[in-house]
Amino acid sequence: MKNLIVLTISAFLLMPSFMNAQACMSPTSDEGISIIGFIQPQYEYLFAGQDQQGKRLDESSFYFNRARLGVTGNIPYDFSYYFMTEISPTLNGAKNIQPPLLLDAFISYNRFAPYVKVSAGQFKVPFGIELPQPCHKLYTINRSMVVANLVDPWRDLGVMVSGGTGDLSILGTKTKNAVSYSLGIFNGGGLNKKDDNINKSVVGRIALKPIDLVTVGASYRFTKLPPQTDGVTEEDTRQRLGLDLELNYKNFIVQGEYVYGADNGSYTTGGGCGGEVEVHQGSKKRDGFFVQALYMTPWKVQPVVRYERFDPNMEMAADQLGFLPEDGMQNVITYGLNYFFNEKVRFQINYLYKAEETGKLEVKNDILLTQFQIVF
C-alpha cells in the first residue's frame, strides 16, 4: 500500500513533463504552467460568557480558514487562463465538512490590454474595493460584514470586459490607470450554478485616480429574476450601489467602502467564498460601511484598525428590535497586527469587538483570531 501511494504521487508530479514530451500539452509560456496557491491554518476563540447556571459558553478551535490550489498561464499569443480550487473542509470556519470547490476558472483575451481585456468563465464579480482583493492579501483575516452580507454572490458565471487608461500624465504627475473600469454580465445564481431563467445580472465598477495617492470608485449591480413568491407575477429585482475610497501614501493606507442594497420581492444572504446563496421571501433594504487604516513599519509589522457598521433592515425601528444580534445594527471594531516573515509567509492576529444595538442588551460574542499563511 505504501509503495502504491509513493508511485501515485510520483506519477502526478511527473505528469506535466510527460504530457509535454508526448505533445499532449503545449507549454503555455517560456516558463510553462505556474502552480499557485496558499494555505491559512487558523485559530479562533469565541468569548461567549456564561449561561444562567454559570456554565462557560466560550468556544475555540483550530481549522483551515482556506486551503487553495490552482494553475495559471499564458497561451500564445493573446490568451491567458486562471484556475483555482478550494479544498479546505472547514472553509471560513464552517462546522460541516464541505467537498472540494471550483472557485475560479476563466479565460482572458489580452490583445488590447491594458485598455480592453475580455474574460469568460467563473470569477469574482467586479464590485467594490475589498472584494477584488485576493484573500491572501487582505489586511484583516476576514472580509467586512457589509461585503459578506450584501455583495452576493461573490463569484458567478459570465463574461466581463475590463481595462483602463494605462499610464497618463496629469498635472505633470504620472498616474497609472487614471481611469479603470469593469463591466460584466452574469447568471446571477452564484458559484457553479447554471442559470434557470433568461434574465441576467449586470455588474460594473469605475474607478478614478486623479493622483497616485487617491482612488475613488463607484459600483452598481442590478439583477432581475422570476418572482420567488407563489401567486406573484411581477419580477423580483435586486440592486446594489457601492462607493469606495482609498488613500495610499508611502506605507500608510486608509480604505473605506459603503454599500446599499434594495431587494424587492425576495432578498438573499450568503454567497461568499464557497457559500450557498439563500433566497428569502420579502422585500428589504440594507446598508453598511467599513473604514480601516494600516501602516507598514520598518520592522515588518503592520498594525491595522477597522471600524464597520451593518444595518440588516433599514426599515426596522429601534423599538422593534429583539434580543438577537442580527435583529439590529451591528458594529464591529477590529484591532489587528500583521507580521511578515517574508513576502511568502505572514502571521495575523485580530481581535473583533462586537457591539450590537438590539435595544435590549449587548451580546457577548467578541472573537480572537490568529492565522498563519504561506503562499506558493
pLDDT in tens, 59-84: 999 998 899 999 999 998 899 999 99
Res 173: pLDDT:
60
Q: 92 is in which domain, residue-wise?
A: 33-42+63-285
What is the rounded CA–CA span in Å between residue 370 and residue 337?
10
Res 206: pLDDT:
97
Cβ atoms of 38 and 84 within 8 Å: the answer is no
171 has pLDDT over 60: no
The answer as to whether 318 is a domain residue is no
The answer as to whether 334 is a domain residue is no
Distance of CA 263 to the CA centre of its chain: 21
pLDDT in tens, 211-254: 889 999 999 999 998 887 766 778 889 999 999 999 999 999 99
pLDDT in tens, 46-56: 998 887 788 88
What is the rounded CA–CA span in Å between residue 123 and residue 191?
9
The answer as to whether 337 is a domain residue is no
Per-residue pLDDT band at 281 (split at 50, 70, 90) = confident
What is the rounded CA–CA span in Å between residue 102 and residue 93?
18
Per-residue pLDDT band at 17 (split at 50, 70, 90) = very low
The answer as to whether 80 is a domain residue is yes
The answer as to whether 5 is a domain residue is no
Res 174: pLDDT:
64
Per-residue pLDDT band at 95 (split at 50, 70, 90) = low
Distance of CA 333 to the CA centre of its chain: 19
Res 267: pLDDT:
83
The answer as to whether 369 is a domain residue is no
The answer as to whether 83 is a domain residue is yes
Res 32: pLDDT:
67
Domain count, the chain: 1
C-alpha cell at 22: 508526448
Res 21: pLDDT:
40
Output 113 or 325, whichever has higher pLDDT. 113
For the chain, give the mean pLDDT.
85
The answer as to whether 69 is a domain residue is yes
